[in-house]
Structure 1
Amino acid sequence: MTTDLTVPARTGPDVASIQRRTLRLLFGTQIIGGIGVTIGIAVGALLAARIAGTAVAGLAQSAAVVGGALLAVPVTRIMNGHGRRPGLAVAYLVGAAGAVLVVLATVTRSVPLLFLGMLLFGGGTAANLQARYAAVDLAEPARRGRQLSLIVWATTIGAVAAPNFAALADEVTSGWGLPTLAGPFAFSAAAFVLAAGVLVVLLRPDPLLTARRLAAADAPVAPPAAPDVTPPPGAVVAAAPAARRGAGMRVAWQVVRGRPAARLGIAAVAVGHVVMVAVMSMTPVRLGESHDDAAVLRVVGIVLSLHIAGMYALSPLVGWLTDRFGRRAVILGGVGLLLAACAVAGTAGHHTPRLSVGLVLLGLGWSGTMVAGSTLLSESVPAAVRPSVQGFSDLTMGLAGAGAAAVSGFVMRAGYPVLTLLAAIAVVPLVALALRPVPAGVSDEPTGVSDEPAGASDKEE
């Protein structure tokens, strides 16, 4: 059983102080990590297209998404045993190693090395995504949506500016003998290492370990039994929470399967990500069809900056709406924005301003499904299995997004409008799930949610 000796005594002010410190620290590392992730994403498809061809440009992007998804499994295991701090740090360091491999692949023009590098580069995305869950470990129920969205929003500061740094990174690294488009990944590696170092040194006490300690203290404990007496069936014992920490993906699936709210949360996150990845990853290629090499990086930087602003800039408002009007309502609002985005971008032709509007709407729709879906998922499962379920959600989201990115490169042969049409069709199942009647006794309103203590029953209330 892992123990965090830095956890203070259980008092209201201490918990509030830990939460404020955790939010400030996560806010800062999200800025750094956002720069690292986005500056690579901004040129990833272009780099892959130049080394391996346009048809497989989407596969390179999907490799990063798959890497982020698969890394959710070992990162979750680390968090289960040791807390958020080492899990986030390991994910960032793997992302840094991947960025270095992409630089080497650019120098050697090695396609296998490029794909391996992009696979590991997904570690940066895995860390940024898992950080949002660390923000709600100690959050009050009525403020979960806002505090989760605050960490999502923090990515804006670095991510919006990052695509525009691509050209600058190339200029700086050209003196090192690096080829075009390699520089942004060198900057990504440095950003990931910095984020990991800050977390290792400063994220103390660990929010997940603190939350488990508090949940264990609140859990009912069976009266002491004689040494030769077996505890009665169903009795809650102090060791139960520790046993659940080893829960893997199979246990996570079993918990989610019996909880309609958790299923909706995972579906919202996954479907929103599928639509966003499919359309966004091929937008640089679309812009490359109508702009020459001298202008394409600048135009891609502007369009993706607007898209990322849509993803993150209004997330605090999305979080407030999630707490005020409920998780399900905001998920449906996000779905409507995703459909509008596909319609605008798909009919924009080569009109860059209209395409930019479509990408902003795409980001806003993703924000709605991500914030509301993640909040709904986190509060729908017991604390003892929450990290595993959150890892399962990110695994599902990543693999679904990877499939979309892989297919998008091939769909581009039929045209960008066809890609946006298929992305819109992918939203339909989520609409059906979100509109299903809520079972009696189940609510997605913040006032109706309780933070179930570790070791509590998994039965749906």
Structure 2
Amino acid sequence: MTVDLRVPTRPDVAPIQRRTLRLLIATQIIGGIGVAIGISVGALLAARVAGVAVAGLAQSCGVVGAALLAVPVTRIMNGHGRRPGLVVAYLVGAVGAALVVLATVTGGVPLLFLGMLLFGGGTAANLQARYTAVDLAEPARRGRQLSLVVWATTIGSVAAPNFAALADGVTRGWGLPSLAGPFAFSAVAFGLAAIVLLLLLRPDPLLTARRLAAAEAGTRPAADGGTPLVADAGTSPVADAGTSPVAGAAPAATKTTPVARGAGMWAAWRVVRGRPAARLGIAAVAVGHLVMVAVMAMTPVRLGESHSDADVLRVVGIVLSVHIAGMYALSPVVGWLTDRLGRRAVILGGVGMLLAACAVAGTAGHHTPRLSIGLALLGLGWSATMVAGSTLLSEAVPAGVRPSVQGLSDLTMGLAGAGAAAASGFVMRVVGYPTLTLLAAIAVLPLLALALRRVPSTASVEEE
């Protein structure tokens, strides 16, 4: 697959953006390895240290940790730029992985839970990297460039579980207990990603975008390169149309809006609340993730009802591989469609695929090939809502508060996924898998209504 990294933008920005994209793709692969190699044995290790009863809870700590860590990480980004925020997130993930190794050695259950919580820093960094890709992107290429970073995660995520056994064998030779090795390698991977970003992510894309926005608005950036007075263009058809502004359209009134350094979640919510495009972006990301997690989490249990213990792991591996391919493999195509057809159109397409996935999986019974098709559609629906929703959100808010709004989105997404994972097991036990997919489909309907709602074309901010 040929990846087009050409960036048709101003001469001074184009080299920065190309270099940023290449660096993000490289670190996403490294970070994806760190996340996936640990997660691949996380449940087994937790069951060995803390017992089977709380193994799932230990895994959930990583999800919740990624969601909660989005808050301080985005505050750092808002005040100091993308580079320190991503570096801190990866370092927190490395510390978490090291604590999990220590918990394995000592048998400390509280230490294990703390380690898994901090391990979520690696996931938080991987998620925030997709937003870094659009800070300096041209409007007509934002979807594609964001999707390339999402796609790069696939390489590390798919390859890493296959190295878990090798990592475990190597570290056992160092005297570490069984299953500790993958987390030791996670710590190394996160640390390497942090070092690469610290040394090479210069100039910072967010701070550069803010300086350009301030210069174009006739304002002056802060002396330290931090938060300037941000030009809030207030209106632009770009976010909704997905292409360059309509020729002949009247320019929006421009005002200068001061944004406080390190603006928090409440400031982010105030911005989102007043912008329909931003609300749709956050809703698309959160609802798509909720539905995906709810159905995907219980699919192995569903397969276990019709396959023997000798076959179930092999079948689960195949079905989930098809699902992961749907999530990531076609994300560059989804990004291209996002730019070509528009953000809202792709979100609606994602909603359609999520509904189709619930219908196919819910009526598949114990027919594994049909269930695989349902999970592939589920992955595609997630990809569409994630890429198009993230792109729409990023361009719908001023640069000065953008990291906080993106952090709010990742926090909402993470908590929605954690809640769906927790609730799905109860629903599965009480009313079964078909009803679970029906409830997941019902959860999509508010997003459908929001996406179909007609709003003025002047619903977003265009600063670059």
TM-score by length of 1: 0.83
2:441 to 424, 429, 441: 424
1:375 to 347, 366, 391: 391
Distance (whole Å) between structure 2 residues aligned to residue 211 and residue 148 of structure 1? 16
C-alpha contact (below 8 Å) 2:398/2:461 kept by paired residues:
no
User: Secondary structure of the equivalent of 1:427?
Assistant: helix
Residue aligning to 1:265: 281
Cα separation, partners in 2 of 1:21 and 1:304, compared to 1, 3 Å: same
Offset, 1:405: 2.0
Distance (whole Å) between structure 2 residues aligned to residue 408 and residue 265 of structure 1? 25
Distance (whole Å) between structure 2 residues aligned to residue 84 and residue 377 of structure 1? 17
Cα separation, partners in 2 of 1:208 and 1:390, compared to 1, 3 Å: same
* Larger deviation, residues 80-89 vs 406-415: 406-415
Residue aligning to 1:244: 260
Offset, 1:38: 2.2
2:405 to 389, 396, 403: 389
In structure 2, the gaps of 5 or more residues are 1-8, 221-231, 233-255
- The AA in structure 2 aligned to 1:202 is L
1:452 aligns with 2:463: yes
Offset, 1:429: 1.6
Residue aligning to 2:350: 334
1:204 to 199, 202, 205: 202
Residue aligning to 1:187: 185
1:82 aligns with 2:80: yes
Residue aligning to 2:331: 315
Cα separation, partners in 2 of 1:172 and 1:280, compared to 1, 3 Å: farther
Offset, 1:75: 0.6
C-alpha contact (below 8 Å) 1:62/1:401 kept by paired residues:
no
The alignment's C-alpha RMSD in Å is 2.8
Cα separation, partners in 2 of 1:112 and 1:303, compared to 1, 3 Å: farther
Residue aligning to 2:63: 65
Deviations 1:26-54 (A, max 9, x none): 01111111112223333434544565566
Cα separation, partners in 2 of 1:389 and 1:450, compared to 1, 3 Å: closer
1:42-191 matched pairs, under 5 angstroms: 42-48=40-46, 56-176=54-174, 178-191=176-189
Distance (whole Å) between structure 1 residues aligned to residue 38 and residue 414 of structure 2? 17
Deviations 1:243-277 (A, max 9, x none): 43332111111110011110000000001111222
1:356 to 354, 372, 383: 372
Cα separation, partners in 2 of 1:175 and 1:303, compared to 1, 3 Å: farther
Offset, 1:430: 1.1
Offset, 1:192: 1.1
Distance (whole Å) between structure 1 residues aligned to residue 47 and residue 452 of structure 2? 41
Residue aligning to 1:446: none
- The AA in structure 2 aligned to 1:25 is L
Offset, 1:91: 0.5
User: Secondary structure of the equivalent of 1:136?
Assistant: coil
- The AA in structure 2 aligned to 1:18 is I
* Larger deviation, residues 50-59 vs 21-30: 50-59
* Larger deviation, residues 263-272 vs 307-316: 307-316
Deviations 1:398-448 (A, max 9, x none): 1111211222343343344444333222212211211212x23436xxxxx
Deviations 1:218-258 (A, max 9, x none): 11349xxxxxxxxxxx9xxxxx7774333211111111001
Distance (whole Å) between structure 2 residues aligned to residue 184 and residue 350 of structure 1? 34
Deviations 1:307-340 (A, max 9, x none): 2221111111101111111111111111222223
Q: Sequence identity of aligned pairs in percent?
A: 83
User: Secondary structure of the equivalent of 1:451?
Assistant: coil
1:23 aligns with 2:26: no
Q: Which has the higher contact order (CA 8 A, sep 6+)?
A: 1
Cα separation, partners in 2 of 1:51 and 1:281, compared to 1, 3 Å: farther
Offset, 1:107: 4.4
In structure 1, the gaps of 5 or more residues are 1-10, 223-233, 235-239, 444-448, 454-461
Distance (whole Å) between structure 2 residues aligned to residue 416 and residue 213 of structure 1? 52
* Larger deviation, residues 21-30 vs 73-82: 73-82
Residue aligning to 1:398: 414
Residue aligning to 1:228: none
- Give the total of aligned pairs: 420
2:36 to 15, 20, 38: 38
Residue aligning to 1:435: 452
Deviations 1:69-119 (A, max 9, x none): 111111111111211111001101111222222333344554433322221
